[in-house]
Amino acid sequence: MFSKLWASLHNRVVSAQARAVRQRARTASERAASTKPTLGTKLTGTMTRLDRLAAVWPDTVVVVFDGDKPPELRHPGEIVIPRPFPWRDPVFVLPVSTGIVTLDVIITDAITFDGHKLDRVGLRVQVRLSQTDKYEMVATLAAEFRDGLAAFLLRRVQSEVTAEVEAAIRLNRLADLQRQTLEAVLADRWLPKAFAGGALTREGFDVLEVGWPEPEETAESAVETVRSAMHLSVDARLQHVWKRFAQSDLYGIAGAQIGGGSTVIAVSVRQPGEFQTARVREEYANMYADPRVTLVAVAADSYQGLIREWFRQVDDSPGRLVSVESVGDEEALRININEPAPADASPMGEPANEVGTESARAALRRLLPHRRVEFVGTDST
């Protein structure tokens, strides 16, 4: 009889306390209802020993650690009850926010595709726990990391955002990033929509700062100097394709389709990467309807350097090139080749063993400003 009375009294006390706890939770949540998420919002609270009744607040779940039992999850409005003697056999609780949490991520020394360094990029990312499994993943992760749960999730957000932002910058030119804005590039496809294996979802983001490099006036003036020294022709159609897919400014570009073959010669400020070269070549193959088109991509700042690199790419024996010399004021460009000149040499002085293909030679003549391009055989003996 006494035990029944005691049980009834205990239930009344617990029920009254639970109603009071719920009321306090509702009052506190109403005060915070109009407050927008701020940078100070934490992902988790502090793991605490439970020594009194507690109600789970709105926008929160609580992970309950009861001895060796698997962690249990409590949802908003539920009551968590301590043990009769909490100091002897404690239960611990870890509150986790289910509302929007705002995090700042800083990335340093990111490199663009064309080699420019962005000293500092700052992003503000809004995340929240994924609701797809009713937050069960939280309990699973908490069983492994316990009070290190927040640190684990924050590290994952930092590393995953950093990896994708660096990749987006690495695969875009500086001019494209500035024209489109970094925020638009990231929103298009790069920034992850979920983090930590789906435990967190991205609700939004803002680019706070970008440390753009200073304009390279000296480099631009150097390019203009080279352009004034080399007067190369520029085919507008070929240039348009190059600008779309390659990552380097052009000094000149020309092409030819003749003798059953096609060749495009592009003289650029710096050598493009393998992927860009393959992509440009594919476009030129479509343009000339020739899947075997030859793309000669040259990074040179003089006629001599241009011919030597062109010779290396188009001829089976590039070692027979002796010298390159201009004759007159861009009247002729003489290319001396190490082989005896044939008795029946043509008026142009071309050797019997022609250099490269017919289309390669025709494209070179269209590219250069010289009235004549002469291939002259010289006897090494």
Categorize the per-residue pLDDT at 237 as very low, low, confident or very high, splitting at 50, 70 and 90. very high
Range of the domain at 237: 222-378
Lowest mean pLDDT among 129-138, 142-151, 221-230: 221-230
Considering the chain, what is the average pLDDT of its residues?
Answer: 79
Q: Are β-strands 54-55 and 79-80 bridged in parallel, bridged antiparallel, or unpaired? A: antiparallel
Distance set, CA 377 to CA 24, 35, 333, 361 (Å): 98, 84, 14, 16
> Does 366 reside within a domain?
yes
Lowest mean pLDDT among 58-62, 187-191, 234-238: 187-191
Query: How many CA atoms does the CB half-sphere of 252 hold within 13 Å?
Result: 23
Greater confidence (332 vs 17) lies with 332
> Is 263 a residue whose pLDDT tops 90?
yes
Greater confidence (314 vs 40) lies with 314
> Does 15 reside within a domain?
no
> Does 142 reside within a domain?
no
Greater confidence (162 vs 318) lies with 162
pLDDT tens-digit series, residues 85-119 = 667 778 888 888 888 888 899 998 888 888 888 98
> Does 338 reside within a domain?
yes
Q: What is the mean pLDDT of residues 303-316?
A: 87
Q: What is the mean pLDDT of residues 294-303?
A: 88
- Cβ atoms of 90 and 49 within 8 Å: the answer is yes
> Does 329 reside within a domain?
yes
Token readout for 290 is: 């020739």
> Does 50 reside within a domain?
no
The pLDDT, as a whole number, for residue 289 is 93
> Does 334 reside within a domain?
yes
Categorize the per-residue pLDDT at 351 as very low, low, confident or very high, splitting at 50, 70 and 90. low
Q: Could you tell me which residues come within 8 angstroms of residue 14 by beta carbon, excluding any fewer than 6 positions away?
A: 53, 81
d(CA 99, CA 161): 20
Count the domains in the chain.
1
Does the pTM surpass 0.75? The reply is no
> Does 149 reside within a domain?
no
Give the chain as a 3 state SS string.
CHHHHHHHHHHHHHHHHHHHHHHHHHHHHHHHCCCCCCCCCCCECCCEECCCCEECCCCEEEEEEECCCCCEEECCCCEECCCCCCCCCCEEEEEEECCCEEEEEEEEEEECCCCCEEEEEEEEEEEEECCCCCCHHHHHHHHHHHHHHHHHHHHHHHHHHHHHHHHHHHCCCHHHHHHHCHHHHHHHHHCCCEEHHHCEEEEEEEEEEECCCCCCHHHHHHHHHHHHHCCCCECHHHHHHHHHHCCCCEEEEEEEEECCEEEEEEEECCCCCHHHHHHHHHHHHHHHCCCCCEEEEEECCCHHHHHHHHHHHHCCCHHHEEEEEEECCCCEEEEEEECCCCCCCCCCCCCCCCCCCHHHHHHHHHHCCCCEEEEEEECCC
Token readout for 150 is: 């927040």
Token readout for 235 is: 């085919």
